[in-house]
Amino acid sequence: MTETVRFPDGPLGGRYRIERELGRGGMAVVLLAHDLKHDRKVAIKVLRPAIAAAVGAERFLREITIAAQLHHPHILPMYDSGEADGLLYFVMPYVEGESLRDRLEREVQLPLAEALQIAREVADAIGYAHSHEVVHRDIKPENILLESGHAIVADFGIARAITAAGGDRLTETGLVIGTAAYMSPEQATGERTLDGRSDVYSLGCVLYEMLAGEIPYPGPTAQAMLARRLTDPVPPLRSRRPSVPPAVERAVAKALARLPADRFSTAQEFSAALERDDAGAVASDGRIPRRSRILLGAGLVALAVAAALLLRSRSLTEPSASVIAVLPFSPTTADTALERLGRDLAATISANLDGVGDIRTVDRLTVLAQVAAGAGPLSLPEGVALGRRLGARSVVYGSLVRAGDNVRLDATLYATDSARAAAQTSVVAAPGDIGALTDSTTYGLLRAIWRRGTAPTPSLEAALNTHSLEALRALLAGEGALVENRWDEAAADFRRAIDADSTFWLAYGRYAFAKYWTLHEAEPQVWSLLERHAAELPERDRRFVEILRLVDDSLDRALAEGRSLTEQYPDYWIGWMVHADQLLHVGPMVGHEREEARVALEQTLRLNSRLIPAWSHLTLLALQDRDSVAVDRCLAALTGLNAGPALMAEGYGDQMLHFRLLRRQLRPDTAGTGSLIDSVAHDVARNRNTGSSFYDPFRYGYFEIQTLLSGKVLRLGPTPREEAAHRELIVLSWMGRGAFDSALASIDRYAEGAGEPSWALEAYRVAVLGSWLGALSPVEADQRREGAARGAPGAGAELVAEIAWIDGVRAMARRDAAGLSAARQTVRASGAPSAAVLERSLAGMNLGVEGRPLAAGTALANLEWQLAQSGNLAVAKHPYVSTIDRLAAARWLAAGGDTATAARLLVSSEASYFISSGTNVNLAVAGLELLERARIEAARGERDAAVRHYQEFLRRYDRPTPLHRHLVEEAVTALRRLSGQTDR
């Protein structure tokens, strides 16, 4: 029976107005309240009355003051505590982020780098608390809050206070301090005198779960879990996730040792073990990295070996210098030139430090993106907080001041956990001598933090691999333009850097990235040189370049490498943006849901909140989800960034104008849509050279709006290419609404007097697709065959092959095995480049006609996965192939019981929204694919997903032919059954 907690009618303790309950657990009820004195939201934990009575108010409040004295960036502080109306409570900040438990319920397993970062931050927190003789006793995902990408441990000292105050009286309440899934063996067996090693054990359980996706000792009951940890060995972590490095597995196993004496003595030791890199200073291909080569004398083998062994040791530098964020240096007085120099020096010093010994620096472009030019200097607390958010253990913070004709740079290295100064240096040099300022500052910092042997003397020239000051200045100017969304300007700057130093490979990589966002591919010779010299790029840039090229060869490999890059360099916004871009545009082709792209875009924006492409891509996703709140958030951000000029790319027109038209469709009252359609139509006529884009209403299921828009464009005198594209958009829009008869009528109107066989072929395609789907009579397809055939004799091999393939689809719809066989023979004899693919497609259909649904679905699915990986250009000429193959495969797989693969195939249609600026027939049958997904989700018991898909099907499929009205009735009936909703 749940114990009732009655709250006072007035403000709790005279100063906290209770707003609502946030949750409840075994010890307390958590409330959201308003702090009347300080005008802020707070979270209040109110102890259950039975526990409050057992521990006693005076003793509890005395013990809780120990927790209130803990001050650490990864510990949730305590604001207040007290007693009111018989209730014991304590007050904490209200954290609007989520808990680690929320995150694990959503993602199950976390990226390696992120899991290790969370574990290290929790280790820092509990290590600090242990030094103040406070053991948490209940480390678990529910007590780890995630805010701005960082961990904050809640309820510190609460368990200790309750235990110390309550003593044996707690037994009467039935309260057990700790959680069985994460409890150390000694805590489970009732040991009273626990030390910090018990918390280390619990943290080991949490890290195990973050990586493996489950706790190390699962069981049906608390007793079963506790019994297993007292008898069973630690389950090998790599058996559940092979990508976990051996060093991490060993560290977790030691943390989970049954005896406290066999564990790490302190949380700091556990954290340090998680930072070790078994690869040392030797690269994965066996080469010694560039920074190691700086220390080697040419031909001195013994010295080379000694240096390599030295660099393998983790203890070369102070632990706080393992990850450094170099912040822009601020002039002591208003000075635009020194402000620009301070940003340039942050970039060069960061590049110079990166890779020296065990030092890694936070990506310099991410740091620049976080500190806007002209925004004024950061205070030291702000700089330290920024470093923590970016995962840095320390920050380089400093200032610039003029000294006659020279400048003086004062730089200090501060630890982010305590703001303690670990190193300090001052350098005086000419303001134009970036190399001297950079090298001297780097060496000064290294001397102070180097722990073994003599600190090296890195060279900026070696760090960036250029001897040209002109090239360096152009690169820095381009990087500044990048973080300010000035893509054309950035590309021009990087081009200048290449012209100044033709072997400056980093400039080539930056140039390719800038051109990527101007929608103009870098020149072939640039890519050729980049591919030949990729090994000479910094590691993160090398991998980024490889990912851009991989997408042409293998989508799976490109996406896997993108994820790996973001795990290895979680602070690299370029990597996150490219990965998000690929997830959005091509990820669905191999079964990735849109949510993955959204997560990657949100992470990109956490690192670079002013990145216009990230906001515009997030807008596309929000529009596709019909999420008006998310769309408004994105459009507000784009407006604040004055994104209009940046979103005027050639071939797309005024993207903000198109966004406004699409946003208008999400309003209950669409008044004003007509004038917006007029504006967009004129914009299309002025700016488009392709006739269609990612922003067409058709792509978002607004078929009626697309028909009106395209009709206006056709009346404005478009080019022949645009005219054909917009006529096709109208045909596809009718199909999207289920009106296959209206689509054919439109084709007939366009074909009159055109004298082109292409419209006759399109009519045959639509008629066959409609008859196969059951929306049209088979007679319609039979009648259209002759018109399409007139263009085939003597025509190209591809036309002959495609008509034969459509014949095969027609035969499949009639379950005509002989007709299918004849079609396959014609395809084979055509000699078309796409013949092999088309013949495989028909072979899969033949299996279905033979009554072997699972074999048919598997064959077509395998063909589609292969085509998606290779980007087969030959079959891309036949737009109906993948549409029919994937829908047919999904239906057969579902009938054969393989609903997982069927659902994954249907996800692929989402790629059509964003895959290219050309139209895609997948979108014309997206409503029917949604219906198939709804059926699958309903059969699986996924009620919410089924309801969502049925509703979207009904919203799109609003003009079905008489033969398809039963589908609408089916969806309405299903919605009544699932949720009682009948509106559409």
Sequence-distant (≥ 6) Cβ neighbours of residue 403 within 8 angstroms: 428
Q: Which residues pair with 394 in a beta bridge?
A: 324, 415
**DSSP-derived secondary structure for 223-252:** HHHHHHHHHSPPPPGGGT-TTS-HHHHHHH
pLDDT band at 851 (very low <50, low <70, confident <90, very high): very high
pLDDT band at 257 (very low <50, low <70, confident <90, very high): very high
**Residue, of 781 and 12, whose pLDDT is higher:** 781
First-to-last CA distance in the chain?
Answer: 43
Q: Which residues of 741-773 are buried (b: 16+ CB within 10 A; e: fewer)?
A: bbbbebbeebbeeeeebebbbbbbbbbbbbbbb
Decide: helix, strand or coil at residue 708. Answer: helix
**DSSP-derived secondary structure for 424-449:** EEEEEE-TT-HHHHHHHHHHHHHHHH
User: What is the distance between the alpha carbons of residues 844 and 858, in angstroms, rounded to a whole number?
Assistant: 8
**Residue, of 295 and 700, whose pLDDT is higher:** 700
pLDDT band at 897 (very low <50, low <70, confident <90, very high): very high
User: What is the distance between the alpha carbons of residues 534 and 577, in angstroms, rounded to a whole number?
Assistant: 20
* Res. 601: pLDDT tops 90: yes
Which residue, 322, 240, 907, 305, is CA-closest to 624?
907
* Res. 176: pLDDT tops 60: no
Range with the poorest average pLDDT among 101-105, 126-130, 687-691, 873-877: 873-877
User: What is the distance between the alpha carbons of residues 644 and 658, in angstroms, rounded to a whole number?
Assistant: 11
Asked whether 216 and 234 are in contact (CB, 8 A), the reply is yes
Instruction: For 297-332, write each residue's pLDDT tens digit.
Output: 333 333 333 344 333 444 588 888 899 999 999 998
Distance of CA 961 to the CA centre of its chain: 41
- C-alpha distances (whole Å) from 832 to each of 765, 795, 800, 827, 882 are 19, 11, 8, 8, 18
Residue 314 is predicted with a pLDDT of: 45
* Res. 748: pLDDT tops 70: yes
Q: What ranges in 688-796 are assigned the alpha helix state H?
A: 703-714, 720-736, 740-751, 757-773, 778-789
Residue 238 is predicted with a pLDDT of: 87
Which two structure tokens, joined as six digits, stand for 583?
A: 């997830």
Q: Residue length, the chain? A: 984
Residue 535 is predicted with a pLDDT of: 85
Mean pLDDT of 787-803: 78
Residue 588 is predicted with a pLDDT of: 83
Q: Count the helices and strands in the chain (H runs, E runs).
A: 43, 14
Which residue, 826, 765, 767, 821, is CA-closest to 801?
826
* Res. 276: pLDDT tops 70: no
Asked whether 871 and 554 are in contact (CB, 8 A), the reply is no
* Res. 595: pLDDT tops 70: yes
User: What is the distance between the alpha carbons of residues 239 and 206, in angstroms, rounded to a whole number?
Assistant: 17
**Burial category of 192 from C-beta neighbours within 10 Å (exposed 0-12, middle 13-18, buried 19 and up):** exposed
* Res. 550: pLDDT tops 90: no
User: What is the distance between the alpha carbons of residues 679 and 807, in angstroms, rounded to a whole number?
Assistant: 43
* Res. 394: pLDDT tops 90: yes
User: What is the distance between the alpha carbons of residues 550 and 490, in angstroms, rounded to a whole number?
Assistant: 24
Mean pLDDT of 704-733: 91
Residue 287 is predicted with a pLDDT of: 33
Asked whether 923 and 698 are in contact (CB, 8 A), the reply is yes
Decide: helix, strand or coil at residue 833. Answer: coil
Which two structure tokens, joined as six digits, stand for 763?
A: 């009519």
Instruction: For 442-492, write each residue's pLDDT tens digit.
Output: 999 998 898 877 888 888 888 888 889 999 999 999 999 999 999 899 999
Mean pLDDT of 30-35: 89
Asked whether 636 and 620 are in contact (CB, 8 A), the reply is no
Q: In whole numbers, what is the pLDDT of the chain averaged over residues? A: 84
**Residue, of 783 and 192, whose pLDDT is higher:** 783
**Residue, of 944 and 551, whose pLDDT is higher:** 944
Range with the poorest average pLDDT among 575-584, 680-689, 703-712: 680-689
Q: What ranges in 330-433 are assigned the alpha helix state H?
A: 336-353, 364-370, 380-389
Instruction: For 835-845, write each residue's pLDDT tens digit.
Output: 999 999 999 99
Percent of the chain exceeding pLDDT 90 equals 47
Angle among Cα 755, 761, 764 to the nearest 5 degrees reads 130
**Residue, of 371 and 518, whose pLDDT is higher:** 371
Which two structure tokens, joined as six digits, stand for 542?
A: 């090398």
- Beta-carbon count within 10 A of 942 CB: 16
Decide: helix, strand or coil at residue 368. Answer: helix
SS3 content of the chain, % helix, strand, coil (to 5): 60, 10, 30
Percent of the chain exceeding pLDDT 70 equals 88
Residue 311 is predicted with a pLDDT of: 39
Asked whether 100 and 109 are in contact (CB, 8 A), the reply is no
Mean pLDDT of 82-106: 85
Asked whether 589 and 911 are in contact (CB, 8 A), the reply is yes
Residue 893 is predicted with a pLDDT of: 95
| H or E stretch at 577 | helix 573-585
Decide: helix, strand or coil at residue 45. Answer: strand
User: What is the distance between the alpha carbons of residues 782 and 775, in angstroms, rounded to a whole number?
Assistant: 15
Angle among Cα 108, 112, 115 to the nearest 5 degrees reads 70
* Res. 574: pLDDT tops 50: yes
What is the rounded radius of gyration, in angstroms, for the C-alpha atoms of the chain? 32
Mean pLDDT of 877-881: 82
- C-alpha distances (whole Å) from 179 to each of 210, 226, 301 are 17, 10, 56
Asked whether 971 and 953 are in contact (CB, 8 A), the reply is yes
Distance of CA 649 to the CA centre of its chain: 25
Asked whether 445 and 454 are in contact (CB, 8 A), the reply is no
Most confident option among 82-96, 138-152, 813-827: 813-827
Which residue, 25, 29, 27, is CA-closest to 43?
29
Asked whether 808 and 835 are in contact (CB, 8 A), the reply is no
User: What is the distance between the alpha carbons of residues 494 and 473, in angstroms, rounded to a whole number?
Assistant: 10
Tell me the catalytic residues: 138
User: What is the pTM for the complete model shown?
Assistant: 0.67
Asked whether 234 and 212 are in contact (CB, 8 A), the reply is no
* Res. 547: pLDDT tops 50: yes
Which strand ranges, in their side-by-side order, compose the sheet holding 80-84?
Answer: 16-24, 28-35, 40-47, 87-93, 80-84
User: What is the distance between the alpha carbons of residues 33 and 22, in angstroms, rounded to a whole number?
Assistant: 10
Residue 953 is predicted with a pLDDT of: 94
* Res. 918: pLDDT tops 60: no
Residue 451 is predicted with a pLDDT of: 82
Range with the poorest average pLDDT among 128-142, 296-310, 771-785, 832-846: 296-310
Q: Which residues pair with 413 in a beta bridge?
A: 396, 423
Asked whether 99 and 145 are in contact (CB, 8 A), the reply is yes
Which two structure tokens, joined as six digits, stand for 539?
A: 């590691």
| H or E stretch at 361 | strand 360-361
- Beta-carbon count within 10 A of 377 CB: 18
Asked whether 93 and 77 are in contact (CB, 8 A), the reply is yes
Range with the poorest average pLDDT among 13-27, 102-116, 126-140, 505-519: 13-27
User: What is the distance between the alpha carbons of residues 501 and 509, in angstroms, rounded to a whole number?
Assistant: 14
